[in-house]
Structure 1
């Protein structure tokens, strides 16, 4: 049966309208942050970018994070989302895919966590660092991986992984700590003798030849474009801060230990009024704990303790979340967003994002719970 052309046009218009309405209904059109709630992307799906970090380039924010399924194992890779307003995010796909080669360090079943991307002006490359654990080794490998791209959206090319600072002593290491005591290091953990040996470099000496452990990590870029790698090391007991080479692809050998034996994880760093500030978590696995904060005149320290930045109800659990990044808001001087994940170890894909504004009291960062807020808070 034939229809007049006008009827064809009406059918096409109706189909287009239906498609357009469907498209609009899947795009949330957020105008505020709602911490802990499902946060949908432009396609109507829960944003899958856990343990994330953000790069701002040419007016666009890029959010990189771990693509999670039910478990913590990498089955897809590192995802990337883009936004101009921080509320609404476009799914840009996979920035760094797991490898099809079963012998690759980033094959499916490995662990790829806490990706951070920085742009190198000298090389015109986007450089991604992330925590890497090798397949079927649990968290024993304790490595940091690196990948590069010509575009913030990728695809990123995986280069290699490191145990940082092989055969390099930290700059704040005492000379007499370089030699193991005559009686050897204590084998029994958590004793006063063990704690003393830890502070005096027991694990640094152990890993001196093959490089230091690297788990929860971040990358910080100074105002002069010098980049630093900050990671939880020494069996997660001590943070290591390392200066990177000019191309951001390797370690210079200049590094320091921060808070030996302090059990800090999940480092997030930002700068304000001539100070470097750092927010971390304690060491309780997937379970939440009270955050910590520190500041220093130089990223290489010394660092002073400022206490738990979270205040109010559930501050002792950091509102049931763990830090991943501190985001400077463009166009709003000295305005920062505390980014954290509310982990769901029984079903990782259901992890929620906790974004809260950082306030200031007595030159200390303060984080208060807000059920809903927007950038006018700054």
Structure 2
């Protein structure tokens, strides 16, 4: 049984490679997308790996995961803009009901992290393969750590920008393949990254990380009655001895299951990225406040 804070394994007992990712529900099955880091570290600081691809795993119960393969890799871009030195991180996937396509957005960068943009790809089924349709800077702005938020009417890219000093909400076009030009700001000069967002009752909550490189830091939650304005940093929602380092993790996504919210964390091992672990922790909401306790086993259960 997989345990929070550790490497997770698929149904063939292979380490799951789905870092910086998210889980999407589609037609009663769950699909976990994330960065495949299964390569040796390289670079001047030995804290990068060559681009392998974006993995997809599927599950019927969120406990047993089956590897579906690499759904995006170098061959996904017919224009050849993605190669082994590219950075393709934090994949997020939404389904566009109008086009009936699955749309993936990722942080895209060069090896030196100078470009700070996005890769946009589409597929007609959740297991891909995804085809790259564009590499861009949303509204001409930098985009580093990012996530997507979708409601009944629209979808939004939420991304760290301005050298990580600002979070932007950028409205997506109807086909979700670009931005419309409409955008708003949050946390100006607050230096927040790893954005996650969810709605509970009449509150929009965000959980973000501070900018401390590979060193874990205390997460902060914020809230507003409005999606695109008014987010105010409140407090650290984590509890107990691990709260000052977000349980040695960093937020990557908020998963909604049966009207319950769960925070997905990456536990980065920067000197051996492929051995980084995962956690999925329950988010307890009390009116306008959040609490995220540490639990050993995701979604309940006992350690074997």
Question: Could you say whether these structures have the same fold, taking a TM-score greater than 0.5 normalized by the shorter chain as the test?
Answer: yes
Contact kept, 8 Å, 2:91 with 2:105, in 1: the verdict is: yes
Which structure is higher in strand share? 2
> How many pairs does the alignment contain?
295
Aligned-partner Cα distance in 1 for 2:234–2:192:
14
* TM superposition shift of 1:360: 2.5
* TM superposition shift of 1:305: 2.0
* TM superposition shift of 1:37: 2.3
Aligned-partner Cα distance in 2 for 1:62–1:89:
9
Contact kept, 8 Å, 1:75 with 1:108, in 2: the verdict is: yes
* TM superposition shift of 1:162: 1.2
2:11 counterpart residue number: 42
Select the structure of larger CA radius of gyration. 1
SS at match of 2:245: helix
Q: What is the correspondence of 1:288-307 to structure 2 with a 5 Å cutoff? A: 288-307=216-235
| TM-superposition CA deviations, 1:325-376 (whole Å, max 9, x none) | 00001xx22x111101010110100000021111124531211112235348
Which structure is higher in helix share? 1
The question of 1:65 aligning with 2:34 is answered yes
Aligned-partner Cα distance in 2 for 1:352–1:73:
16
4+ long deviations beyond 6 Å: 100-103
Pick from 106, 112, 118: which aligns with 1:130? 106
272 and 349 in structure 1: CA distance in 2 versus 1, 3 angstrom threshold: same
Pick from 99, 115, 120: which aligns with 1:146? 120
Pick from 337, 340, 354: which aligns with 2:262? 337
Q: What is the correspondence of 1:5-84 to structure 2 with a 5 Å cutoff? A: 30=1, 34-68=3-37, 69-71=39-41, 72-84=48-60
Contact kept, 8 Å, 1:73 with 1:112, in 2: the verdict is: no
1:99 counterpart residue number: 75
For CA contacts below 8 A with separation 6 or more, give which structure has more relative contact order. 2
Aligned-partner Cα distance in 1 for 2:123–2:115:
25
* TM superposition shift of 1:290: 0.5
Q: What is the correspondence of 1:315-330 to structure 2 with a 5 Å cutoff? A: 315-329=243-257
Aligned-partner Cα distance in 1 for 2:295–2:171:
36
Pick from 124, 132, 142: which aligns with 1:213? 142
Contact kept, 8 Å, 1:50 with 1:341, in 2: the verdict is: yes
* TM superposition shift of 1:70: 2.9
Q: What is the correspondence of 1:220-239 to structure 2 with a 5 Å cutoff? A: 220-222=149-151, 224-239=152-167
SS at match of 1:108: coil
Contact kept, 8 Å, 1:99 with 1:108, in 2: the verdict is: no
1:208 counterpart residue number: none
Contact kept, 8 Å, 2:71 with 2:127, in 1: the verdict is: yes
SS at match of 1:63: strand
Aligned-partner Cα distance in 1 for 2:234–2:108:
30
* TM superposition shift of 1:309: 1.0
Pick from 240, 252, 264: which aligns with 2:180? 252
| TM-superposition CA deviations, 1:64-114 (whole Å, max 9, x none) | 000002333443210100011111100000111123989722111100100
TM-score for the superposition, normalised by structure 2: 0.93
Q: What is the correspondence of 1:156-235 to structure 2 with a 5 Å cutoff? A: 156-165=130-139, 211-222=140-151, 224-235=152-163
| TM-superposition CA deviations, 1:293-350 (whole Å, max 9, x none) | 1111221111122211111112010011000000001xx22x1111010101101000
SS at match of 1:255: strand
Unaligned runs of 5+ in 2: 42-47
